[in-house]
Structure 1
């Protein structure tokens, strides 16, 4: 099965190399995942971002299987230069995915620290106001890092290769959509400015809400709606302790959502590692 024919000159003779066909079942499945990811990207909603994480995992599972096909390995081994470019691109993707994971890990630490201070609170204990202020300051520092990552993402991305071989095209498209998903995730954690309320916390908590809705059959709810505003105004409140109960529940829900996102990112990271190993084996074969 072949969609095009490449030739390589070996010992004065030309040998035909059959490339994986675009009609191959795995290639078709990959194209379907890419199509759904593009649709979710266009929708640009919290639930679509949730589905994007799952689709991205499935996409790289299929790509991993595609790279194990002998026909694919044979084809890419004779396209050394563009395959090496894909190998280089896989390293950049791993770096970006690692940065996103670290950002969510830091966010979870901020939430956990504030939750702990709420649990330790004593009515009238002024240290609670200090903890809230510390949390807000930590978010501002984290926002600077996120902003740097977002700027860096504008400079990164898969190279626009000219080769039309099916697998290389798929790898480029997968890289492009991956960068888009990672940018969205970082955007959810970003703040509008160092002195205003964070944006997207409600979106973060809703990233995986679609999964819960599909399981429960219930309506999607915003677990942390208004949490950003509440925390920023809390430091000015005279009855700070009276508001802790509700905020603790909101922080608990947010931590749970972040944990799920981290788990998905960990799965994607492992798949990217596997992708890089497969490409490395092909290049060194």
Structure 2
């Protein structure tokens, strides 16, 4: 998907022209402010900071009741943050500032590296969610057939997928550790770098919440580890409610269950699969938005 181009943003101030016949004071001269850099009052800067604040509020708002809807809302909010960043990167004055690199000569190289890491991690996340969906679909067939041995295989596979999702956060260890040089003056270029740095920080923080919420759900954990995990890791590591509904290891002995019991389990698994599809779609939107942002950074160097 080609990054969208933002062409022109103009601001104007209008004043009522009150004619005064008895004023002897000379009129003040209004000086037009330079727009060589996106200043702090630029609409896109305001929009981007507002979306970052909204994403931080989302992370703080959950009261221990994490749902798939809450998770997808966070992913969509993160997509909106990166869409606004992409809008900012389309401005000619933004590109001029980033190319100059007066405060930080290696800025573009580090930004390109960071956003490549984001793209790689969310590509892996999409692959893992797809594997999760495929394993779960196959497990539903095994449940209908009351095939305990096949269900046990899928349970082990899901456990491995959960561990791989939780390990995605570790790939951010070298991301976002620069950007502000010590002692730099607070000018317009610094404001631009600060807001980009805030985008990187919130992306890492929210990604950790998303990956942790999924991987710590009981769909990926052994029954014996559930209680211990909650006690040690606390609220910040709680799982997603819908992904807590079914643990395949709890489904042993299906041949002894009634037909009604099997139908109820199949219904819950189908509902859980719908949640997985929603998470997959939201993650895909974030992934594409991250690609757009990195392409825009590349265009800063090439256009």
TM bracket, shorter-chain basis: 0.7 to 0.9
Q: Encode CA deviations 1:43-78: one digit per residue, 9 max, x unaligned.
A: 345254332112111111111111111111111111
The one of 172, 176, 191 equivalent to 1:158 is: 176
What is the CA distance between 1:282 and its match in structure 2?
Answer: 0.7
Contact conserved, 1:76 with 1:83, CA < 8 A, in 2?
yes
Measured in 2, the distance between the counterparts of 1:204 and 1:109 equals 20
Q: Which residue of 1 aligns with 2:289?
A: 271
Q: Which residue of 1 aligns with 2:265?
A: 247
Question: What pairs up with 1:155-194 in 2 under 5 angstroms?
Answer: 155-163=173-181, 165-191=190-216
Task: Specify the structure having the higher radius of gyration (Cα).
Answer: 2
Contact conserved, 2:129 with 2:280, CA < 8 A, in 1?
yes
Q: From the two aligned structures, give the one with the greater strand fraction.
A: 1
Contact conserved, 1:19 with 1:72, CA < 8 A, in 2?
yes
What is the CA distance between 1:26 and its match in structure 2?
Answer: 0.8
Contact conserved, 2:254 with 2:262, CA < 8 A, in 1?
no
What is the CA distance between 1:202 and its match in structure 2?
Answer: 6.3
What is the CA distance between 1:179 and its match in structure 2?
Answer: 1.6
Measured in 1, the distance between the counterparts of 2:253 and 2:238 equals 21
Q: Which residue of 1 aligns with 2:53?
A: 35
The one of 58, 61, 64 equivalent to 2:86 is: 64
SS state at 1:159 partner: coil
The one of 80, 89, 110 equivalent to 2:114 is: 89
1:129 aligns with 2:154: no
SS state at 2:240 partner: helix
Contact conserved, 2:74 with 2:206, CA < 8 A, in 1?
yes
The one of 267, 275, 278 equivalent to 1:257 is: 275
Equivalent pairs, count: 244
Measured in 2, the distance between the counterparts of 1:95 and 1:271 equals 13
SS state at 2:156 partner: helix
- Summarize the Cα distance change of 1:50–1:38 in structure 2 as closer, same or farther, 3 Å threshold: same
1:203 aligns with 2:240: yes
What is the CA distance between 1:25 and its match in structure 2?
Answer: 0.7
What is the CA distance between 1:149 and its match in structure 2?
Answer: 2.5
Contact conserved, 1:97 with 1:182, CA < 8 A, in 2?
no
Judge which range, 189-198 or 248-257, deviates more.
189-198
Q: Which residue of 2 aligns with 1:140?
A: 159
Q: Where do 5+ consecutive residues of structure 1 fail to align?
A: 2-15, 206-223
- Summarize the Cα distance change of 1:48–1:169 in structure 2 as closer, same or farther, 3 Å threshold: farther
Higher normalized contact order (CA 8 Å, seq sep 6+, divided by chain length):
2
- Summarize the Cα distance change of 1:102–1:204 in structure 2 as closer, same or farther, 3 Å threshold: farther
Judge which range, 86-95 or 166-175, deviates more.
166-175
What is the CA distance between 1:254 and its match in structure 2?
Answer: 1.3
What is the CA distance between 1:240 and its match in structure 2?
Answer: 3.7
Judge which range, 155-164 or 49-58, deviates more.
155-164
TM-score using structure 2 length = 0.71
